[in-house]
Amino acid sequence: MTRVVIHDPTLRDGQHAVRHQLGPAALRRYAEAADAARIPVVEVGHGNGLGASSLQVGLAAAADDEMLSTVREALRHSRMGTFMLPGWGTSDDLRRAIAHGVDVFRVGVHATETSLAERHLGFLRDAGAEAHCVLMMSHMATPGELAEQAARAVGYGAQAVGIMDSAGHFLPPDVTARIGAIVGAVGTTPVIFHGHNNLGMAVANSVAAAEAGALIIDGCARGFGAGAGNTQLEVLVPVLERSGFATGIDLYALLDAADLAERELMPAPPVTASMSIVSGLAGVFSGFKHRVVELSAAAGVDPRDVFFELGRRQAVAGQEDLIVDVVAELSGRGTDG
Amino acid sequence: MTRVVIHDPTLRDGQHAVRHQLGPAALRRYAEAADAARIPVVEVGHGNGLGASSLQVGLAAAADDEMLSTVREALRHSRMGTFMLPGWGTSDDLRRAIAHGVDVFRVGVHATETSLAERHLGFLRDAGAEAHCVLMMSHMATPGELAEQAARAVGYGAQAVGIMDSAGHFLPPDVTARIGAIVGAVGTTPVIFHGHNNLGMAVANSVAAAEAGALIIDGCARGFGAGAGNTQLEVLVPVLERSGFATGIDLYALLDAADLAERELMPAPPVTASMSIVSGLAGVFSGFKHRVVELSAAAGVDPRDVFFELGRRQAVAGQEDLIVDVVAELSGRGTDG
């Protein structure tokens, strides 16, 4: 059987579902359970990564230092991962994280902006740390563009590179094309796939990724994550095994970890609600949801129309002002009204 | 685009998730919403079909007559469907259902027992009613066996025939093989696929079914159904459309119907919990869950071991006694203990 490496961002991407309020006790208990299941990498941090705790995107319940030291103590077999977005995280954050014993760093950039990761990937390479690069909102780039960006990331020092389906927009053939192109471009460098479940396809997309040659696949307990959630880890693992991929994970201990996560980390498991389906179809960052719904209600327009129009305009995170424009236009008032 | 016909058993299969307690008001409101979305067939009834309301499998909140007349009044565009299992439903039940204006009858049988449907399919054919036959627990039969059973059902008068993935066990290649074999055996007779989401694959399996030639695909609002639930209808429809299949359904009205279903039919949308994953992997009827968990706890054995052993013994609905045997054996006490 082909081996795939499961990377578990429950304690990082799941934070988005609870406004970054996972505290040390919850982090420790899930990390211990994940470790018992022999999940290869357990990623922890603020949802937006190192240095991101802020009024703007949400203050975390615990500081980066405390999150990292807590999870470090809980892991005996699993490697510890963390995440960073250039702009939020700094080299100083990376230095401190290395001191805390992080084994795997993920640097995330928009699909066509790998150059923004150059400095941090280089810093991590020079520090002897394992650095991965993930291209977010990857449905907004063609397979060829992603392949080129991935090759560039490897040139900057990334020891693995891949894509996030941040908007949950992909169907399996989309994943096959993109992972295939990246694998073709980066040779023996491991390729990553990270799915979201807006169209109920996260597990199927992950299997398609593995079949196209991805070696590192992400999943979260019960799919813990914003909106429709991520790929459901304890479903992904046995489905990969049945599809001919070995994960080395103990199924029963994995199910126990997922049960613990449902009880102790989340108010309720993710649901694929209508607005998540619409944002997935439109290919829009689901973090826009609250603002879209709020502004649409105030203006009396259908928030679904707003999402589809944002999709046509290729809105990305940071462009929240575009929501105001689109709502105003659809309500027939114009932005000067 | 190839046309597929969506068949919506929210008001029948969903009943399993609420112990058959959907009352007339809830039935009417969902049926009106489904009708507004132009869903081709709206199926209603006790979870186990006509005549099944009983202490043994659960007393329904409303009698068959009331459920059928309520939904009949609510539908102006959609056709009305109902379900029956030979043994529960009788010819008299079918006669009354015809009088209530049912347009489409589904007769369900275990995957290898089509002969049990002969009398009812013949009765419906002679009465001029549209009758479909669905093979349940279809993972327990080979593609060749299913093709043979399906051809037999057509011979008995079925105007459509297909399979239910009752245990939620299939992955897409399993579906492709089975639907392909059935399509090959029944020629122009429409082929049906009905999925469950135990392995997170219900939507992907349904797309695989359509691609293999299935013309009738089932889905429930929010996946409403027992355990991990059915194929999520309002995800299925846009994913089919993106995959090249036309459904004729209005997306926004469909999302509205699903939102109404979440608010008014269910305490919470289905979750793919650990025991549902195990029953799906084991290929065991999820209705066994409560009894497996209860007996396992009393005997101090792991219910997951019980599920996998029941799967090896090919347990089917009606064989609940087998649970007692397996639990006793795994606890080392034997059945005479």
- In this structure, what token pair is assigned to residue B24? 């007339």
pLDDT tens per residue across span B53-107: 999 899 999 999 999 999 999 999 999 999 999 999 999 999 999 999 999 999 9
Mean pLDDT of chain A: 96
**Contact, B222 vs B11, CB < 8 A?**
no
Q: How confident is the model at residue B336 (pLDDT cuts 50, 70, 90)?
A: low
Kindly determine whether residue B304 and residue A255, on different chains, have CB atoms separated by under 8 Å.
Answer: yes
Work out the average pLDDT over B240-266: 98
Tens digits of residue pLDDT in A227-264: 999 999 999 999 999 999 999 999 999 999 999 999 99
pLDDT of A72 > 60? The answer is yes
| Structural contact between residues A215 and A206, judged by C-beta atoms closer than 8 angstroms | no
Residue-wise pLDDT tens digits, A300-317: 999 999 999 999 999 887
Whether the Cβ atoms of residue A247 and residue A39 lie closer than 8 Å to each other = no
DSSP-assigned beta bridge partners for residue B134: B108, B162
Q: Which residue has the tokens 């204006």?
A: B101
A133 contacts A194 by C-beta, under 8 angstroms:
no
DSSP bridge pairs for A246:
A3
**Interface contact flag, A277 B268, Cβ < 8 Å:** no
Give me the catalytic one of B16, B20, B139, B169. B16
- Average pLDDT for residues A141-154, to the nearest whole number? 98
Torsion of CA A29, A31, A34, A40, to 10 degrees: -170
Q: Would you list which residues of chain B are within 8 Å, Cβ to Cβ, of chain A? A: 171-172, 199-204, 207, 222, 232, 234-236, 238-239, 242-243, 252, 255-256, 258-259, 262, 268-269, 271-274, 277-278, 281, 302, 304
Q: How many angstroms separate the CA atoms of A300 and A303, rounded?
A: 9
What whole-number distance in Å separates Cα of residue B307 and Cα of residue A198? Answer: 30
Structure-block tokens of residue A114: 């790998």
DSSP state of A168: S
Tell me the C-alpha distance between B78 and B93, whole Å. 22
Dihedral angle of Cα B268, B274, B276, B277, to the nearest 10 degrees: 130
Are the C-beta atoms of residues A62 and A69 closer than 8 Å to each other? no
Question: Has A13 been labeled as part of a binding site?
Answer: yes
Q: Which chain B residues touch A308 with a CB distance below 8 Å?
A: none
A46-61 residue pLDDT tens:
999 999 999 989 999 9
C-alpha dist (Å) from residue B320 to A96, A188, B316, B323: 58, 52, 8, 5
| pLDDT tens per residue, range A89-104 | 999 999 999 999 999 9
**Collapsing DSSP states into helix, strand and coil, what is residue A134?**
strand
Name the band, by pLDDT with cuts 50, 70 and 90, for residue B337: very low
Distance (Å, whole) CA B326 – CA B332: 10
Known binding residue B29? Answer is no
Q: Is A166 annotated as a binding residue?
A: yes
Per CB-CB distance under 8 Å, the chain A contacts of B252 are 302, 304
The closest CB to that of B171, out of A202, A242, A272, belongs to A242
Structure tokens at A294: 């709020």
Total beta-carbon pairs less than 8 A apart between chain A and chain B: 93
Q: What gap in Å lies between CA A6 and CA A219, rounded to an integer? A: 7
- Of all residues in chain B, the one with the smallest CA distance to A281 is B238
Distance (Å, rounded) from C-alpha B63 to C-alpha B322? 32
Complex prediction ipTM = 0.95
Q: What are the structure tokens assigned to B184, written together?
A: 């090959």
Numbered residues of chain A with Cβ closer than 8 Å to any chain B Cβ: 171-172, 199-204, 207, 222, 232, 234-236, 238-239, 242-243, 252, 255-256, 258-259, 262, 268-269, 271-274, 277-278, 281, 302, 304
Q: Given a cut of 90, is residue A329 above it in pLDDT?
A: yes
Alpha-carbon distance of B268 to B155, in angstroms, equals: 42
Of B222, B252, B302, the CB nearest to A304: B252
Name the residue facing A277 among B235, B302, B304 (closest C-beta): B235
A110 is in an annotated binding site: no
Q: Residue B165 above 50 pLDDT?
A: yes
Topology of the domain covering A2-264: TIM Barrel (3.20.20)
pLDDT at residue A13 greater than cutoff 80: yes
Quote the tokens at residue B177. Answer: 């093989």
Class of domain B274-330: mainly alpha
Does the pLDDT at position B167 exceed 70? Answer: yes
For the cut 90, the answer to whether the pLDDT of residue A1 exceeds it is no
Greater model confidence, B321 or A178 = A178
Q: Tell me the chain A residues in contact with residue B268 when contact means C-beta distances shorter than 8 Å.
A: 268, 271
Q: Is A274:A293 a contact under the CB 8 Å cutoff?
A: no
pLDDT value, residue A334: 64
* C-alpha–C-alpha distance, residues A317 and B334, integer Å: 61
Does residue A336 have a pLDDT over 70?
no
Q: Residues near A171 by Cβ (< 8 Å), separated by ≥ 6?
A: A199, A201, A205, B207, B239, B242, B243
Say yes or no for a CB contact (<8 Å) between A232 and B200. Answer: yes
Output the CA torsion sign for B160, B166, B169, B171. Answer: positive
Q: Which of B199, B234, B256 sits opposite A235 (nearest CB)?
A: B199
DSSP labels, B292-335: HHHHHHHHT--HHHHHHHHHHTT--TT-THHHHHHHHHHTT--T
Cβ-based neighbours of A272, under 8 Å, separated by 6 or more: A197, A198, A200, A228, A229, B222, B232, B235, B269
CA-nearest of A191, A215, A207, A220 to A42 is A220
**Amino acid symbol at A267:** P
Average pLDDT, chain B: 96
Domain boundaries, chain B: 2-264, 274-330
Mean pLDDT of A16-26: 96
Sequence-distant (6+) residues with CB within 8 A of B298 are: none
- Nearest chain B residue to A308 by CA distance is B252
Cα–Cα dist B62/B45, whole Å = 9
Report percent pLDDT > 70 for chain B: 99
Mean pLDDT calculated for residue range B5-26: 97
DSSP string for B76-94? SSSEEEEEE-BTTB-HHHH
pLDDT of residue A335: 57
